[in-house]
């Protein structure tokens, strides 16, 4: 996969393509937390970097720029990645929590899969995937339980303004396997908008509930 170029960057996973156009491996990385070297006018900025990997598979780093984090991207020396990422110099963090409250129908378990995404105006029509799970790797929860979904990441950054705004898009499928071996399939799909004042919301579909909570940091 030498010479691979970035095809898509959702904030946490690098989706690359090989030189022949075939899709390559996905490399998970974390966004830098220190963006103090970004623009001083408070606006977001898109930056582009062509990063090489050293012999240990680590991204090379310019010591004069502390906003670039040294993160492992793989174990193949000589790989090339072209990375475009969003810099938010004056940001506030939103810690996201998603709870599932599943109705007790006498079933043995519930299989849950789907996607949860976060977006903001400054993301320029891009989203950060907080949860992504296919049916083949679905999560199992007991009937009648209240469970917290494992989000990764669970924290996203948005521009720090008086009118904070974060959109959460939920698209989950819940399959209940009953004692009779029959499956009941339910789709929980909706969008929520969170602000400085609105930090908790619930949606219910046929007695199954999804609760989304946001904690802003730092608080004002």
What pLDDT, in 10s, does the model give residues 174-216? 988 766 667 888 999 999 999 999 999 999 988 889 999 999 9
What pLDDT shows up at residue 37? 35
Q: How far apart are CA 16 and CA 5, in angstroms?
A: 6
Do residue 171 and residue 191 come from a single domain? Answer: yes
Confidence of residue 76 (pLDDT cuts 50, 70, 90): low
Residues 176/141, Cβ–Cβ less than 8 Å: no
Q: What is the mean pLDDT of residues 127-131?
A: 92
Q: d(Cα 91, Cα 218) in Å, to the nearest integer?
A: 10
Q: Are residues 64 and 118 in the same domain?
A: no
- Verdict on whether the full-model pTM lies above 0.85: no
| Domain shared by 81 and 96, yes or no | no
What is the pLDDT of the chain when averaged over all its residues? 71
Q: Are residues 114 and 163 in the same domain?
A: yes
Q: Tell which phi-psi region holds residue 89, choosing left (phi > 0), alpha (psi between -120 and 50) or beta.
A: alpha
C-alpha to C-alpha distances, 209 to 22, 170, 176, 200, nearest whole angstrom: 40, 12, 14, 13
| Domain end marker among 87, 118, 148 | 87
Give the separation between CA 149 and CA 133, rounded to whole angstroms: 11
Rounded CA separation 151/128 (Å): 11
Q: Rounded CA gap, 87 and 85, in Å?
A: 7
Residue 120's SS3 state is coil
Give the model confidence (pLDDT) of 102-119 as tens digits: 887 766 788 999 999 999
pLDDT the model gives residue 62: 38
Count of domains forming the chain: 2
pLDDT at 36: 34
Question: Of 69, 66, 38, 71, which Cα lies nearest the Cα of 159?
Answer: 38
Q: Which letter does DSSP use for residue 60 in this model?
A: P
On the question of pLDDT at 6 being above 90, the answer is no
- If asked whether residues 69 and 98 sit together in one domain, one would say no
Q: Which of 126, 118, 122 is nearest to 166 (CA)?
A: 118
Whether 125 and 187 map to the same domain: the answer is yes
Out of 11-15, 73-77, 90-94, give the one with best mean pLDDT. Answer: 90-94
If asked whether residues 127 and 158 sit together in one domain, one would say yes
Per-residue confidence (pLDDT) for residue 142, from 0 to 100 = 85
Range of the domain at 50: 5-87
**Dihedral sign for Cα atoms in the order 55, 56, 60, 64:** negative
N-to-C CA span, the chain: 47
How high is the pLDDT of residue 78?
Answer: 62
The per-residue pLDDT for 220 is 60
Position 82 scores a pLDDT of 62
The H or E element containing residue 27 is: strand 23-28
In 3D space, the residue among 39, 29, 129, 33 whose CA is nearest the CA of residue 81 turns out to be 29
pLDDT given for residue 80 in this prediction: 64
% of the chain with per-residue pLDDT over 70: 57
Of 94, 133, 85, 86, the residue nearest 112 (C-alpha): 133
pLDDT of 17 > 70? The answer is: no
Cis peptide before 153 (omega within 30 of 0): yes
Of 171, 115, 105, nearest to 142 by C-alpha is: 105
């Amino acid at each position: 996969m030498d010479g691979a170029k970035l095809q898509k960057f959702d904030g946490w996973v690098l989706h690359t393509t090989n030189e022949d156009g075939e899709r390559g491996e996905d490399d998970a990385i974390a966004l830098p937390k220190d963006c103090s070297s970004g623009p001083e006018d408070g606006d977001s900025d898109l930056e582009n970097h062509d990063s090489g990997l050293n012999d240990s598979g680590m991204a090379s780093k310019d010591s004069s720029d502390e906003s670039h984090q040294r993160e492992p991207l793989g174990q193949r020396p000589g790989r090339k990645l072209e990375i475009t990422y969003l810099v938010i110099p004056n940001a506030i963090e939103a810690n996201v929590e998603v709870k599932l409250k599943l109705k007790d129908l006498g079933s043995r378990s519930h299989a849950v899969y789907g996607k949860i995404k976060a977006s903001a105006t400054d993301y320029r029509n891009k989203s950060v995937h907080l949860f992504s799970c296919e049916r083949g790797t679905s999560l199992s929860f007991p009937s009648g339980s209240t469970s917290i979904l494992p989000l990764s990441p669970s924290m996203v950054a948005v521009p720090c303004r008086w009118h904070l705004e974060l959109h959460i898009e939920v698209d989950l499928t819940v399959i209940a396997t009953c004692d009779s071996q029959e499956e009941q399939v339910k789709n929980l799909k909706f969008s929520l908008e969170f602000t400085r004042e609105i930090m908790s919301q619930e949606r219910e579909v046929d007695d199954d509930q999804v609760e989304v909570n946001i904690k802003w940091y730092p608080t004002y």
